[in-house]
């Protein structure tokens, strides 16, 4: 890795910030992608991403990975019962975390670094409950985020697909990348077995709001299960679709 990693504590949250090789306050401001669940989606593939920066298939990007205090609380939009006795109930504190993200974390990160303040280039990407939260954040704060990555979004979550369907949103200059694995519903004996269907429903709801094919992408990865390795593959695919060559200026 040729870029720089720094660790910060912002408003009590651990935040890992990656700055690409040519980053300098003397050069132009770069887009920042805010990544849920800390650095889990990008830290192990920085060599690959930097190779894409070098060959021009991706513009250089800043990543800010935000580690949750409790993802079952912070990434859920409203309370819901647990699906397993091994875990506590979902706390439904998504609105509180979103306020923390937009009012404290993002301003602090962007004050510390030379980051583009244009909302249309500001990204938010998450997987699983983080994917659900990414779409929720866009609907709640449409003027903040312009590029959304929803990887294996947990739209089985109670009433979440209905919420997307009923929410008001204009496409404007936003782009959304969605993905789900073709085997994510296997061996699930609870509402998680609706995972693929609910993702398809959410994609259709967004399409009905006027998002064109150049603004909205949906991928079903053949053979992929609900696992971190698949999430990392789709993170790279999301970046390529959201920011890749010939797309970053449109």
pLDDT digits (tens, 9 = 90+) for 195-244: 999 999 999 999 999 999 999 999 999 999 999 999 999 999 999 999 99
pLDDT attached to residue 245: 74
Arithmetic mean of pLDDT over the chain: 95
pLDDT at 145 over 80: yes
Q: What is the pLDDT of residues 57-112, one digit of tens each?
A: 999 999 999 999 999 999 999 999 999 999 999 999 999 999 999 999 999 999 99
Q: What is the pLDDT of residues 188-197, one digit of tens each?
A: 999 999 999 9
Domain covering 4-243, topology: Rossmann fold (3.40.50)
pLDDT at 249 over 60: no
Which pTM value belongs to this model?
Answer: 0.95
Do 9 and 19 contact (CB within 8 A), yes or no? no
Quick one: angle between helices 228-243 and 46-55, nearest 10?
Answer: 20
pLDDT at 36 over 60: yes
């Amino acid at each position: 890795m040729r870029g720089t990693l720094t660790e910060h504590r912002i408003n009590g949250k651990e935040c890992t910030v990656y700055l690409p090789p040519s980053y300098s306050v003397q050069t132009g401001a770069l887009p920042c992608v805010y990544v849920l669940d800390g650095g889990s989606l990008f830290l192990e593939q920085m060599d690959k991403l930097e190779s894409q920066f070098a060959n021009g298939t991706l513009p250089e990007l800043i990543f800010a990975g935000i580690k949750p205090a409790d993802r079952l609380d912070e990434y859920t939009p409203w309370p819901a019962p647990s699906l397993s006795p091994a875990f506590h109930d979902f706390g439904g504190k998504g609105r509180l975390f979103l306020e923390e993200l937009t009012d404290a974390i993002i301003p602090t990160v962007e004050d510390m670094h030379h980051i583009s303040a244009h909302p249309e280039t500001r990204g938010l990407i998450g997987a699983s409950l983080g994917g659900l939260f990414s779409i929720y954040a866009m609907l709640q704060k449409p003027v903040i985020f312009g590029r959304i990555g929803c990887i294996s979004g947990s739209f089985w979550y109670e009433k979440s697909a209905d919420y997307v369907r009923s929410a008001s949103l204009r496409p404007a200059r936003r782009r959304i990348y969605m993905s789900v694995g073709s085997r994510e519903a296997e061996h699930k004996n609870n509402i998680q077995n609706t995972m693929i269907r609910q993702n398809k429903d959410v994609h259709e709801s967004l399409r009905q709001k006027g998002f064109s094919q150049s603004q909205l992408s949906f991928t079903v990865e053949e053979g992929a299960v609900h696992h971190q390795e698949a999430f990392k593959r789709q993170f790279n695919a999301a970046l390529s679709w959201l920011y890749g060559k010939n797309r970053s200026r449109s």
